[in-house]
Chains A and B, each alone.
Chain A
Amino acid sequence: MNTIAAMTRRIIPAVATRGRIIAMLLIGAAGIAIGVVLRRADATTTDMTEFAALFGLTIFVPLVALVISTASLGSLVEDKTLVYFWLRPLGRWQISTASLLAGLAVLLPLILVPMGILGIVTGDTDALQGILAGSLVGLVAYTSVFTMLGLFTQRALAWGLLYVLLWEGLVAGFSRSAGWLAIRTYTDGALSRVGGSAGSIVDPPQGATILIVTGAIVVTSFVVTTWRLNTMTVD
């Protein structure tokens, strides 16, 4: 555990650069500001929750997770410092774990605080809990997927953005079957199940399904990341 903690502490500052943090906070603040304006314009709780689902869970959470998580291992590959972890007597899974933990540690406050404020702005406790539940599902699932993506390509941001915008944002919204393969379905599902609101989807998945799928995404991403670390060429 000592080694994982040491690597996690090392990755965090590489991921949480000042520029990234400020940019993400600004996006979060913009969302909150829009929420406040909507609230003052007498928007209903349902309207507010739908805004939280649309802006928060569909755009903000995946975008922030993308920017931070792809850098967890991606920045080490890019600046060629991965060698200083890779060539140690460690299991590759330990590097995967450290990178995942580093991403989660940075993203937890970066996502949950703005989304929590957005939930408070709705003025409804159930909505607040739903928004936080959806954010938490998105945080864990997106972090896992994007950490893995950062190890596969140096253009992870571009590919990740395409995935978020095209698949999660567009295709999954139009096709119900494709929706089952989108993380957004489960973040909205969590919002709906916990918050008692439909969010942006009709007939959300069951709570158990949300937990199982989220777990499967985390485990699959973790296994693939570890496999990639085992087989890749390290510069």
Chain B
Amino acid sequence: MVMLEASQLTKVYGNEETATPALNGVNLSVEKGDFIAIMGPSGSGKSTLLNILSGLDQPTSGKVTIAGEPLENLKGDDLALFRRRKLGFVFQDFNLLDSLTVKENIILPMILEKKELGEMEEKVQELGGLFGIGSILNSYPYQVSGGQQQRTAVSRAMVNEPGIILADEPTGNLDSMSSESIMECFEKVVREMETTVILVTHDVFAASYAREVVFLKDGSIHSTIQRSGDRETFLRQILDAQRAFGGRTHAL
């Protein structure tokens, strides 16, 4: 089942005189339960692509369909509601509210959906256990580590049981230990909940957890590689592909 479909996406910033193309005819098809990493050098259009896929930005031309719903049909608050119900977001700088506890941050999307107290409590315990943050639920974000904050963000993204999680450099602000635990969280999300994960990353190590890596260059898809063996093998494949692709590697 196709979860996300992007066809002929282009994005040009600026006016006619200062036009800067960011995306140049990107086509992408993601199945339910896929785990895709999008890689590429700075300025290759990774973040632009993620923003367009999530409806935060509009393409200059082209179309995005998520779970059968074309995003162009949704405007303003309908789009916000769509994001709340169908998508989950994980950001590089966690974006948790300092004035809320870990638990309150996690259930915020459920509160907005006016879910029952019992259901929220059950969900937060389940996610807390799954991602190993059950003991810090009553702490505030500034009282816990970066890795724990990002696991909180992943839990928040999962709380409304979305079809897709979109993650923008989720390991960008974390040390290697924390990065590992976050990527394991994403693996669990894909494996145990069959949720689709699309992540944008510079980190080869993080990308090795995915099942497919899409390389972007100058706004177009340059190449893709599929994972066939174990993670170590896939990691080497990505490094090789990146060398061929012309990018620098400093993950190992």
- Are A and B genuine complex partners? no
Interface residues of B (CB under 8 A from A): none
